[in-house]
Amino acid sequence: MSDWSKPFKVSYRVMRVSRRTGLETGRLSWVVSGGSIERNQDTDIGESGSLTVEGSPSLGVDRVRVWADCTWHDGSRTSVALGTFLPNIPTRHVNGAEATSQFDLYGLLQEAADDMFETPFTVKKGENPVDKAAGILRGCNLEVAAYNPGGYRLSENWTFGIRNSANADQGTSKLDAVNDLLDLAGYAAARTDEYGRVILEKYVEPADRASKWSFIEGANATFLTEMTDERDLRDVANVVLVVYYDTDREYTGLAIDDDPASEYSTVNRGRRVARKYEYSNIPESVKTDEAGRKLAAKTALSLLKTAQAVIHRVTFTHVYAPLNVTDVVELAYPTGRVSGRFAIRKQTISLDAGIPVECEARMFQRAGTSRIGEVS
């Protein structure tokens, strides 16, 4: 197994990948003189990047895969795929007979994002939305990794590719349709692995995922000690007021965090930070005033807990480790007073010595307890 805590040398190569078969067909004789790869969970296609190469290469309709070939002092070697991409050449710099080209790289989900349904596409009542999402992706010439479709079935027809549909909030691309279907079944948005295969998997809260890697301060630490630690508490509420009303009735509920053990409470912050939510319809199930007040109080407490989910974000740089977005890592940096379990949201991989990775990871921190009050 590769020991990423020890120094190694790295060279980069780019392989041509057949669009028809998905197989590598040969090494491209490019000299990579710079570039980076970005993985970002907050973007639809998940991956992007750029390369600067010597010459004026042409690829036709094929894709590319970027590899890092690593060698350690003891002679051991390994190669790791960094990503498989749809390439584009927007810029070529020419100086006489010499030329360099900038390659823009797009994750393969771009192909589903660029496509749409020319005629209405209906997923029928009783069908499995995950299987239908996989079918749409395969129709975009994308490979879908093995997955568990789960047992969810649609309770009514869903139609994509029409205007003024009952599902007016749905997006217009095939990737939008895929992610809408996955969301229905409680799955995470589609993403690709380093080989361009689409991953379909049930969404799991970061707190419930096993840690995949540890970054620990010390003699063999593989991260830089300079990092950014963010916890913005300015908008964290400690008072929430909820009002349900219609033409005949009005119910209010109040939730207050005044617990001395809570970091965000009125006690420890020394002030009230209040939010108000109004709902102009009362559920038909509410038949009595008591039920209405309980509903408002329960909603207020739920919204207060949501409002107290503070994002703790850490951005740091480490040498390469076999990690990807959504992975959970342990960070132990006592000197900098930064520690905890963080889920990776974004990685920027520089194609330089050591394969440095700028990593943005975060966790949600919630307050302890709150009490419910009522306003009549």
Which token pair is 234?
Answer: 């300015």
Query: Same domain, yes or no, for 165 and 291?
Result: no
Contact 159, 165 (CB under 8 A): yes
* Residue finishing a domain among 107, 134, 153: 107
Query: Same domain, yes or no, for 171 and 226?
Result: no
- Residue 308 in any domain: the answer is yes
- Report the greatest alpha carbon distance in the chain: 84
Query: Same domain, yes or no, for 194 and 216?
Result: no
- Structurally, the chain folds into a number of domains equal to 3
Query: Same domain, yes or no, for 300 and 186?
Result: no
Residue-by-residue pLDDT tens, the chain, 376 positions: 688 989 999 999 999 999 989 999 998 877 677 789 999 999 999 999 998 877 656 677 899 999 999 999 999 999 999 999 999 875 666 665 566 777 899 999 999 999 999 888 999 989 999 999 999 999 999 999 999 999 999 888 888 876 544 444 455 899 999 999 999 899 999 999 999 999 999 998 888 899 999 999 998 889 999 999 988 777 788 999 999 988 888 999 999 999 898 888 899 989 999 999 998 878 878 889 999 999 999 999 988 887 777 788 999 999 999 999 999 999 999 999 999 999 999 999 999 988 999 999 998 766 544 443 333 2
Query: Cα 352 vs. chain centroid, distance in angstroms?
Result: 25
pLDDT tens readout for residues 24-47? 999 887 767 778 999 999 999 999
Contact 185, 130 (CB under 8 A): yes
- Residue 71 in any domain: the answer is yes
Q: Residue 375: its pLDDT value, please?
A: 38
Radius of gyration of the chain (CA): 26
Sheet containing strand 250-256, edge to edge, reads 274-279, 239-245, 250-256, 371-373
**pTM assigned to the model:** 0.78
Helix residue ranges, H only, 105-173: 110-113, 129-139
User: Counting beta carbons within 10 angstroms of the beta carbon of residue 298, is it exposed (0 to 12), middle (13 to 18) or buried (19 or more)?
Assistant: middle
Among positive and negative, which fits the CA dihedral 111, 117, 118, 124?
positive
Query: Same domain, yes or no, for 217 and 366?
Result: yes
- Residue 314 in any domain: the answer is yes
Task: Give the residue from 46, 190, 170 showing the smallest Cα distance to 116.
Answer: 170
- Residue 1 in any domain: the answer is no
Query: Same domain, yes or no, for 211 and 327?
Result: yes
- Residue 146 in any domain: the answer is yes
- Residue 284 in any domain: the answer is yes
Query: Same domain, yes or no, for 244 and 323?
Result: yes
Query: Same domain, yes or no, for 314 and 376?
Result: yes
Helix residue ranges, H only, 250-347: 266-269, 289-307
Query: Same domain, yes or no, for 348 and 308?
Result: yes
Q: Residue 176: its pLDDT value, please?
A: 94
* Interatomic CA distance for residues 8 and 3, integer angstroms: 9
Query: Same domain, yes or no, for 64 and 51?
Result: yes
* Interatomic CA distance for residues 242 and 276, integer angstroms: 6
* Residue finishing a domain among 107, 136, 153: 107
Q: Residue 57: its pLDDT value, please?
A: 64
| List of residues 6+ apart from 3 with CB closer than 8 A | 72
Structural domain span for residue 150? 112-199
* Residue finishing a domain among 181, 199, 217: 199
- Residue 3 in any domain: the answer is no
Query: Same domain, yes or no, for 224 and 373?
Result: yes
Exposure class string for 159-174: b at 16+ Cβ within 10 A, else e: bbbeeeeeeeebeebb
Q: Residue 164: its pLDDT value, please?
A: 46
pLDDT tens readout for residues 146-182? 999 999 998 888 888 765 444 444 558 999 999 999 9
- Residue 2 in any domain: the answer is no
Query: Same domain, yes or no, for 344 and 224?
Result: yes
